[in-house]
Chain A
Amino acid sequence: DTEVTQTPKHLVMGMTNKKSLKCEQHMGHRAMYWYKQKAKKPPELMFVYSYEKLSINESVPSRFSPECPNSSLLNLHLHALQPEDSALYLCASSRTQDSGYGYTFGSGTRLTVV
């Protein structure tokens, strides 16, 4: 298995809703990442988990809450989002945090906040 699987592919949520994005990989990678990508822009790093521990939080608002329950799974819990949070959310993984290996990206969750 050489894939990063993200679910759901599309999500529409209201500003008072609570929802979660899920990311899964079975490549034995020990670093996992959340990126946010706005239209016509490059991805922006949000969070990094290394060996199931949060190692980087790029000053992301608390309405985004990451969770890494085990080495294969990464969640992003969403609460009280704003319309400007609408974007493509990409999950990625790498063998370790040594960036020389490069990342494997999932196909993303297209989030729309109404």
Chain B
Amino acid sequence: AQSVTQLDSHVSVSEGTPVLLRCNYSSSYSPSLFWYVQHPNKGLQLLLKYTSAATLVKGINGFEAEFKKSETSFHLTKPSAHMSDAAEYFCVVSPYFNKFYFGSGTKLNVKP
């Protein structure tokens, strides 16, 4: 069975402090993994993806994620939050051909 669990529905950080958004997955296959960001009333933008190459993946806007197979995790991090990072973040697992499983989302709030 395939599933994605985003461990926090809401995360609040202060501007300039680190961001950690947690994602655990369950997959019978070696999956591709993605993080998408959605700003209010907008579509989804791809932040980064893991497709069985380097386990530390760098994305846009200073985000990165580390694939840990032993922990079945793919947590998203950023060293220093910016106000413009406030948005909804979705972790997505794709175990095989054209199947995408979305996590329930984490809303990131950035305080000035």
Contacts and interface: CB of A to CB of B under 8 A. Distances in A.
Contacts of A43: 44, 90, 102
Contacts of A41: 104-105
Contacts of B49: 100, 102
B98 A107 contact: no
B2 to A, nearest CB: 12
For chain A, give the interface size range: 20 to 34
Interface of A: 4, 6, 31, 40-43, 45, 48, 50, 55-56, 88, 90, 92, 97-100, 102-108, 110
Nearest to A31: B98
A48 B100 CA distance: 12
A104 B42 contact: no
Interface string B21-39: 0000000000010101000
B34 to A, nearest CB: 6
A9 to B, nearest CB: 9
A105 B36 CA distance: 10
Contacts of B99: 99
